[in-house]
């Protein structure tokens, strides 16, 4: 019986996940356990509003509180159901009362039933699990207990059990709609203690009345297309059931008058007529769907047995029409059954709608699908596994020893958020390319470049350019190394536990050199030797000046220059010369130049000298130091690979040369040359020409956040992460394998030059895609794509832009035919909008939207059937899930993509549909704060490009057809993983109260979780909502100032200040009212880690790069807001 209660609880949670539940006589919690498990199966720990655990005695409560501690919102109260309810303090009304094996033990069952009825809302339900037939064994077991005999026995009964009919009779006075869920006794089981029955009953309303018989309703069946057999079949069947039914074609409907009753619209079996809508059909739909009618729109094999390509258009279309016409009762029913069964199912759906009460449990959803006679409903369900694998946190804690022993590499979930640093799983190397070796990494060197990547200010994703370790295996043609050799390595993306390296870029290290010291050598020293020997040719005793010499790179330059017997001068920003004198620089040759010094002060500090070669370990300072270069000298800048579009590089104003060194670029161009330089460096180390005593901090894997924080606060010293001496107790954040694209396949991105398309292209290129086809329908955009193509080329990706209207089959066919390598996947993001309310919409509006979205998908599908695609990801819209007013065509196209993914998967082909919300940092909406404000007011949450990339990665990973071995009792259909929704946050209290769409049952599991969140928000006004509200106010203010030429700073300063206070309150766990704007953030305890978080947020909120130092300096918050306002303007 308890198992059946669990199944019922799961179904109830899907029907109404916001229930207040009370259990009578919960006792030891046997039934409670199954009920809570049922609710949590449907929607986690939040699939109810509250659960009240009651018993006649409080003696059960201590153990129950411990037993159910993992569940939320459970309260414990004593309750005797045979005493007056109000006197026991029960004034609240409940949606569901559960009585499991308790009512048979009441002395006055009728009085108990009336008490239960008084606990329930007008539309509340009673779930009963009880004894039925008498069994002697039960009487022997419980007979000695006085409670067993409280209720007077029925005539002919030897115990307290009641038959099904008797239970119905007891319920009849206070309840109606009694449903028998289970009445079971295994007669073959001689040891069974009792026979059980499980029933649901609805509280009888005070003004209870039966609806008129369904037979009095009028029904008009409308057919579409040339095959009208199903229309006629339904008409005949309803006639046999006593219903007055008539029929017509859709085109004839506009000329008919209808005064009540139902319309049943039967769509075409092979595909919806909406896909090729004709004028007369559109006019017929307008004539009826703009009125307050009742309609069931019937489709065939769209959802649960997906064989219908375009039937999914109906769902989004119906959602939008319902939003535009609140008086319209428009149901959609998708049938999977064939033949005579279809008419019977339609009749029973009609019957269910007609006789159901207006409560969440009995009321039929507007959207249902049928398979094998069973009705399925649509629900948005949080996918915990997908969230854990590809969400922002995307982490699983694993012992450090396991991480080190298997292939992993370092990734960052969110730029600027160091908590998202995670070790991602990699595949094992199945083979080793010629000339390569696999290194078991023991230590990795990190420098300022890695800090910039983590901060998000450098467009790269690979951490580490050096490491040390042990050779694990070699390619057959590698003879210079053997497994077990200790090596130092220069490379790209070396922060891995297993690194595949060209053998030319490795160098054996002496036994006396530790892995930690070896890992700090390659990048800095190879760069130094490269700078001193490649762009210039230095000779013994030549004078050089090293600017910013206290960095790791500066010290490496000094050491190499000293080994080459050069005359070294250096500048530092403070007066601590001892470190440089330790490395052999004469104190008189060390110049102290403060960070903000002027050119004249710099000249004075350096005694007015000029130098043949000036090396600066920081980029972008040529203007400040160029006058220190002598005539016919060279200024050498050592960069991090950054692209500085916002800085004006002044050309040399005299006869001097300017050189810029980027080791990453040099590595990509000539790995072998850098390998030779590494050989020379290690030779110098072995000969003790270079003393390895660099200022290096060594940390373990568990200290990643601390190491990167040090890099971000301006410490230019190396950080080395050691993978040796791992503590078994350390837990490391890991995540599943990152998408890796096949370098021998091509990938198509439609609308590839849009903001989102560009971001996806760069992401794919950075993860190994070497052949991208970017389509666009705009010739002008294609002509302006050179910058993007150059960026993709820097990743080694050969990208092509093709002008192609994907809605044109011939154009797509030509596009695919021109690709001379296998196509590995498709990202379909093409779209066009043509918004109009339904009463004004035209066929052209449908054609504009359906062209790229619907026809484009079908064309790509058809033309690529001969290619073995790894993924087919379609970017749909949350507008289809919601149903936006004025976008019935776009909503229809969006749900088409959702169901077309099901169709492809039913064929065994990869497919995923992603329903996106509005992307705030690219695209048209990103520049329209007024539209953002409207969407926010409707309860929709913004998403970022990084959110999109994460979910695209998840769609690629999960888009293959699901294993068909689905258990029969599965709550979700086998194609549910084909659709991912990234449009809605949790529904807060305000949205739930004011937005009609949020009351739709399919959003129920999003509403339920909002209860806990609302409680948190009430406790503190410094949470995420306060921040979002403040940012929204800022963007509205900024939008209003678009055409204002003066005084922007003054207007923006107070709204920026409010947003800044809200964010500080959030990160400092304070209330907004506790923060005074005349004080500084430092006075409230902000440190460098929190400053990084706030700086990253400022980039999103204000679209500026806010220096971390501005947050840690003693500016008042209002002064800081003024500085930010100036930066914005």
Averaged pLDDT, 584-598: 87
Q: 929 or 369: which carries more pLDDT confidence?
A: 369
Decide if 616 contacts 593 (C-beta within 8 A): no
Beta-strand relationship, 731-735 and 396-399: antiparallel
- Choice among 195-209, 582-596, 948-962 with the minimum mean pLDDT: 195-209
Bridge partner residues of 77 (DSSP): 54
Q: By percentage, how much of the chain surpasses pLDDT 90?
A: 43
Q: What is the pLDDT of residues 767-809, one digit of tens each?
A: 889 999 999 999 999 999 999 999 899 888 999 999 999 999 9
pLDDT at 514 over 70: yes
- Choice among 170-174, 479-483, 775-779 with the minimum mean pLDDT: 170-174
Q: 113 or 964: which carries more pLDDT confidence?
A: 113
Q: 906 or 359: which carries more pLDDT confidence?
A: 906
Residues 345-370: b if buried by 16+ CB within 10 A, e if exposed? bbbebbeebbeebebbbbbbbbbbbb
From the list 266, 281, 276, the residue with the least C-alpha distance to 219 is: 266
d(CA 170, CA 109): 8
Beta-strand relationship, 629-638 and 543-547: unpaired
Beta-strand relationship, 466-474 and 436-446: antiparallel
From the list 1126, 989, 1118, the residue with the least C-alpha distance to 1059 is: 1118
Q: What phi and psi, each to the nearest 5 degrees, are found at residue 229?
A: -65, -40
pLDDT at 1009 over 50: no
Residue 627 carries which DSSP code?
G
pLDDT at 139 over 50: yes
Residues 1013-1021: contacts with CB within 8 Å, 24+ apart?
Answer: 1013/986, 1013/988, 1014/988, 1014/989, 1017/988, 1020/1069, 1020/1071, 1021/1065, 1021/1071, 1021/1072, 1021/1073
Decide if 541 contacts 563 (C-beta within 8 A): no
**Confidence (pLDDT) at 692:** 85
**Confidence (pLDDT) at 45:** 62
d(CA 522, CA 507): 10
Cα 945 to chain centroid distance, Å, stands at 11
Give every CB contact of residue 692 below 8 A, 6+ residues apart in sequence. 513, 517, 520, 521, 685
Q: By percentage, how much of the chain surpasses pLDDT 70?
A: 86
**Confidence (pLDDT) at 1011:** 42
Decide if 366 contacts 322 (C-beta within 8 A): yes
d(CA 1012, CA 518): 52
**Confidence (pLDDT) at 1089:** 59
**Confidence (pLDDT) at 524:** 93
d(CA 560, CA 562): 5
Q: What is the pLDDT of residues 846-880, one digit of tens each?
A: 999 999 999 999 999 999 999 999 999 999 998 89
Averaged pLDDT, 423-435: 85
Residue 382 parent element (H or E): none
**Confidence (pLDDT) at 404:** 92
**Confidence (pLDDT) at 241:** 92
What is the token pair recorded at 959? 């888009």
Q: Render 931-981 in DSSP notation, one character per residue.
A: HHHHHHHTT---B-HHHHHHHHHHHHHH-SPPPS---TT-SS-TTGGGEEE
Alpha carbon dihedral 637, 638, 641, 643, in 10-degree steps, equals: -20
**Confidence (pLDDT) at 884:** 85
d(CA 627, CA 653): 9
Q: What phi and psi, each to the nearest 5 degrees, are found at residue 91?
A: -110, -15
pLDDT at 367 over 80: yes
**Confidence (pLDDT) at 1016:** 37
**Confidence (pLDDT) at 1027:** 81
d(CA 978, CA 302): 13
Mean pLDDT of the chain: 84
Q: What is the pLDDT of residues 658-708, one digit of tens each?
A: 888 888 888 988 899 999 999 999 999 999 999 888 878 899 998 898 898
In the numeric block, the tokens 């991105």 are attached to 749
**Confidence (pLDDT) at 957:** 86
Three-state SS at 908:
coil
Q: What is the pLDDT of residues 539-558, one digit of tens each?
A: 888 999 999 888 889 999 99
**Confidence (pLDDT) at 1024:** 66
pLDDT at 138 over 70: no
pLDDT at 190 over 50: no
Alpha carbon dihedral 121, 124, 127, 132, in 10-degree steps, equals: 90
pLDDT at 370 over 80: yes
Most confident range (mean pLDDT) of 184-193, 465-474, 644-653, 1061-1070 is: 465-474
Q: How many CB atoms lie under 10 A from the CB of residue 728? A: 8
Q: 1052 or 679: which carries more pLDDT confidence?
A: 679
Averaged pLDDT, 1107-1114: 78
Q: Which domains does the chain have, with CATH numbers?
A: 2-203 (3.40.50.150), 214-377 (3.40.50.11460), 394-520+698-726 (3.90.180.10), 523-682 (3.40.50.720), 746-964+972-985 (3.40.50.720), 989-1013 (no CATH), 1020-1128 (1.10.1200.10)
From the list 267, 331, 252, 256, the residue with the least C-alpha distance to 300 is: 267
**Confidence (pLDDT) at 847:** 97
d(CA 295, CA 262): 6
Averaged pLDDT, 189-208: 65
What is the token pair recorded at 298? 């019937």
**Confidence (pLDDT) at 864:** 97
Give every CB contact of residue 1091 below 8 A, 6+ residues apart in sequence. 1081, 1108, 1111, 1112
What is the token pair recorded at 851? 């062209």
**Helices and strands counted in the chain (H then E):** 40, 38
Alpha carbon dihedral 715, 720, 725, 727, in 10-degree steps, equals: 50
Averaged pLDDT, 202-209: 72
Averaged pLDDT, 374-386: 84
Would you put residue 1061 in left (φ > 0), alpha (ψ -120 to 50) or beta?
Answer: alpha
**Confidence (pLDDT) at 1007:** 65
What is the token pair recorded at 175? 């309840």
Residues 644-680: b if buried by 16+ CB within 10 A, e if exposed? eeeeeeeeeeeebebeebbbbebbeeebeebbbbbeb
Give the Å distances, CA to CA, from 1014 to 46, 848, 994.
13, 42, 15
**Confidence (pLDDT) at 186:** 45
Give the Å distances, CA to CA, from 283 to 315, 324, 846.
19, 17, 13
**Length of the chain measured in residues:** 1129
Give every CB contact of residue 1127 below 8 A, 6+ residues apart in sequence. 1102, 1104, 1106
Averaged pLDDT, 732-749: 83
* Helices 164-172 & 109-119 angle (0-180, nearest 10): 60
What is the token pair recorded at 39? 């609710």
pLDDT-derived band of residue 647, with 50, 70 and 90 as boundaries?
very low
- Choice among 320-324, 359-363, 570-574, 616-620 with the minimum mean pLDDT: 359-363
Bridge partner residues of 264 (DSSP): 221, 296
pLDDT at 1075 over 70: yes
From the list 1025, 725, 686, 746, the residue with the least C-alpha distance to 870 is: 746
Give every CB contact of residue 256 below 8 A, 6+ residues apart in sequence. 220, 248
**Confidence (pLDDT) at 1008:** 47
Decide if 657 contacts 629 (C-beta within 8 A): no
- Tell the burial category of 821 from Cβ atoms under 10 Å away from its Cβ (0-12, 13-18, 19+): exposed
pLDDT-derived band of residue 395, with 50, 70 and 90 as boundaries?
low
pLDDT-derived band of residue 648, with 50, 70 and 90 as boundaries?
very low
Three-state SS at 1092:
helix
**Confidence (pLDDT) at 966:** 36
Most confident range (mean pLDDT) of 3-7, 374-378, 945-949, 1069-1073 is: 374-378
pLDDT-derived band of residue 990, with 50, 70 and 90 as boundaries?
low
pLDDT-derived band of residue 964, with 50, 70 and 90 as boundaries?
very low
pLDDT-derived band of residue 1071, with 50, 70 and 90 as boundaries?
confident
What is the token pair recorded at 223? 């057919």
Most confident range (mean pLDDT) of 195-209, 594-608, 1006-1020 is: 594-608
Q: What is the pLDDT of residues 86-100, one digit of tens each?
A: 889 898 999 999 998
**Confidence (pLDDT) at 956:** 92
Q: How big, in percent rounded to 5, are the helix, strand and coil portions of the chain?
A: 40, 20, 40
Give every CB contact of residue 1012 below 8 A, 6+ residues apart in sequence. 46, 72, 73
From the list 11, 735, 778, 769, the residue with the least C-alpha distance to 395 is: 735
């Amino acid at each position: 019986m308890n198992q059946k209660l669990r199944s019922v609880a799961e179904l109830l949670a899907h029907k109404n996940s916001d229930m207040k539940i009370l259990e009578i006589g919960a006792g030891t919690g046997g039934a409670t356990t199954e009920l809570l498990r049922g609710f949590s199966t449907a929607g986690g720990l939040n699939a109810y509003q509250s659960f009240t655990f009651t018993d006649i005695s409080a003696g059960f409560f201590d153990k129950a509180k411990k037993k159910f501690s993992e569940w939320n919102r459970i309260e414990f109260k004593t309750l005797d159901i045979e005493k007056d309810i109000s006197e026991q303090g029960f004034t609240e009304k409940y949606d569901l009362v559960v009585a499991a094996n308790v009512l048979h033990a009441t002395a006055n069952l009728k009085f108990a039933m009336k008490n239960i009825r008084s606990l329930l809302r007008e539309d509340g339900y009673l779930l009963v699990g009880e004894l039925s037939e008498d069994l002697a064994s039960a009487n022997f077991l419980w007979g000695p207990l006085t409670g067993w005999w409280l209720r007077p026995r029925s005539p002919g009964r030897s115990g307290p059990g009641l038959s099904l009919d008797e239970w119905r009779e007891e319920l009849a006075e206070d309840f109606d709609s009694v449903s028998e869920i289970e009445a079971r006794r295994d007669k073959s089981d001689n040891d069974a203690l009792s026979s059980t029955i499980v029933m649901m009953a609805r509280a009888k309303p005070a003004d209870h009345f039966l609806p008129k018989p369904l037979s009095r309703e009028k029904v008009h069946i409308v057919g579409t297309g040339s095959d009208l057999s199903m229309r006629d079949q339904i008409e005949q069947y309803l006639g046999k059931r006593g219903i007055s039914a008539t029929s017509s074609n859709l085109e004839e409907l506009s000329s008919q008058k209808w005064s009540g009753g139902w319309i049943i619209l039967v769509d075409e079996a092979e595909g919806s007529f909406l896909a090729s809508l004709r004028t007369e059909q559109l006019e017929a739909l307008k004539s009826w769907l703009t009125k307050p009618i009742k309609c069931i729109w019937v489709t065939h094999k769209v959802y649960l047995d997906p064989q219908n390509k375009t039937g999914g258009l109906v769902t989004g279309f119906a959602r939008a029409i319902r939003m535009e016409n609140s008086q319209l009762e428009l149901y959609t029913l998708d049938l999977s059954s064939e033949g005579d069964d279809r008419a019977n199912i339609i009749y029973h759906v009609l019957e269910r709608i007609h006789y159901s009460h207006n409560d969440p449990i009995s009321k039929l959803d507007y959207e249902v699908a049928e398979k094998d006679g069973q009705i399925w409903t649509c629900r948005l369900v949080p996918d915990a596994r997908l969230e854990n694998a590809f969400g922002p946190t995307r982490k699983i804690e694993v012992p450090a020893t396991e991480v080190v022993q298997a292939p992993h590499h370092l990734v960052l979930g969110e730029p600027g958020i160091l908590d998202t640093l995670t070790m991602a799983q990699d595949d094992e190397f199945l083979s080793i390319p010629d000339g390569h070796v696999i290194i078991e990494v023991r230590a990795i060197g990190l420098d300022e470049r890695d800090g910039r990547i983590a901060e998000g200010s450098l467009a790269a994703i690979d951490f580490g350019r050096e490491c040390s370790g042990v050779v694990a295996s070699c390619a057959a043609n590698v003879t210079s190394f053997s497994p077990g050799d200790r090596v130092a390595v220069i490379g790209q993306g070396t922060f891995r536990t297993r690194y595949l390296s060209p053998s030319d870029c490795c160098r054996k290290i002496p036994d006396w050199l530790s892995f930690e010291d070896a890992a700090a050598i390659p990048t800095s020293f190879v760069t130094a030797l490269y700078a001193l020997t490649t762009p210039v040719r230095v000779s013994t005793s030549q004078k050089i000046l090293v600017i910013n010499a206290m960095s790791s790179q500066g010290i490496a330059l000094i050491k190499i220059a000293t080994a080459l017997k050069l005359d070294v001068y250096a500048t530092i920003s403070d007066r601590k010369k001892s470190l440089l004198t330790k490395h052999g620089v004469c104190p008189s040759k060390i110049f102290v130049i403060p960070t903000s010094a002027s050119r004249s002060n710099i000249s004075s500090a350096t005694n007015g000298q000029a130098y043949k070669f000036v090396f600066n370990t920081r980029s972008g300072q040529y203007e400040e130091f160029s006058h220190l270069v002598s005539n016919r000298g060279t200024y050498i800048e050592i960069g991090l690979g950054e692209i500085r579009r916002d800085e004006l590089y002044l050309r040399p104003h005299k006869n001097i040369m300017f050189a810029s060194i980027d080791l990453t670029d040099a590595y990509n161009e000539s790995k072998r040359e850098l390998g030779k330089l590494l050989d020379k460096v290690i030779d110098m180390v072995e000969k003790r020409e270079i003393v390895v005593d660099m200022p290096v901090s060594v940390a373990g894997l568990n200290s990643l956040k601390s190491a990167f924080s040090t890099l971000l606060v301006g410490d230019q010293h190396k950080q080395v992460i050691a993978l040796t001496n791992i503590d078994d107790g350390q837990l490391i954040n890991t995540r599943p394998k990152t998408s890796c694209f096949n370098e021998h396949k091509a990938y198509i991105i439609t609308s590839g030059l849009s903001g989102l398309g560009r971001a996806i292209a760069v992401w794919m290129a950075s993860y190994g895609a070497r052949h991208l086809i970017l389509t666009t329908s705009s010739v002008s955009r294609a002509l302006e794509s050179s910058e993007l193509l150059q960026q993709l080329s820097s990743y080694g990706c050969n990208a092509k832009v093709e002008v192609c209207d994907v809605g044109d089959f011939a154009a797509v066919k030509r596009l695919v035919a021109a690709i001379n390598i296998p196509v590995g996947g498709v990202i379909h993001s093409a779209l066009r909008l043509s918004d109009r309310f339904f009463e004004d919409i035209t066929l052209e509006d449908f054609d504009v939207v359906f062209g790229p979205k619907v026809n484009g998908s079908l064309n790509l599908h058809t033309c690529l059937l001969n290619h073995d695609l790894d993924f087919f990801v379609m970017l749909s819209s949350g507008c289809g899930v919601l149903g936006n007013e004025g976008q019935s065509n776009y909503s229809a196209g969006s749900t088409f993509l959702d169901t077309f993914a099901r169709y492809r998967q039913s064929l065994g082909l990869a497919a995923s549909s992603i329903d996106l919300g509005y992307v705030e940092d690219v695209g048209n909406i990103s520049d329209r704060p007024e539209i953002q404000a409207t969407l926010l007011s409707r309860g929709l949450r913004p998403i970022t490009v990084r959110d999109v990339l994460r979910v695209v990665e998840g769609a690629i990973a999960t888009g293959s057809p699901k294993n068909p071995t689905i258990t029969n009792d599965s709550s979700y259909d086998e194609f549910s993983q084909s659709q991912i929704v990234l449009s809605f946050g949790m529904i807060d209290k305000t949205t739930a109260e004011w937005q009609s769409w949020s009351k739709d049952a399919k959003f129920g599991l999003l509403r339920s979780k909002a209860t806990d969140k609302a409680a948190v928000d009430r406790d503190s006004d410094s949470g995420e909502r306060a921040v979002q509200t403040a940012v929204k106010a800022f963007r509205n203010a900024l939008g209003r100032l678009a055409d204002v030429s003066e005084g922007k700073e003054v207007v923006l300063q107070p709204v920026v200040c409010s947003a800044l206070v809200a964010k500080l309150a959030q990160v400092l766990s304070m209330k907004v009212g506790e923060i005074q704007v005349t004080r500084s953030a430092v006075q409230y305890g902000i440190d460098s880690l929190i400053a990084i978080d706030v700086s990253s947020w400022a980039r999103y909120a204000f679209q500026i790069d806010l220096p971390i130092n501005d947050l840690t300096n003693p500016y008042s918050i209002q002064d800081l807001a003024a500085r930010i306002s100036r930066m914005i303007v």
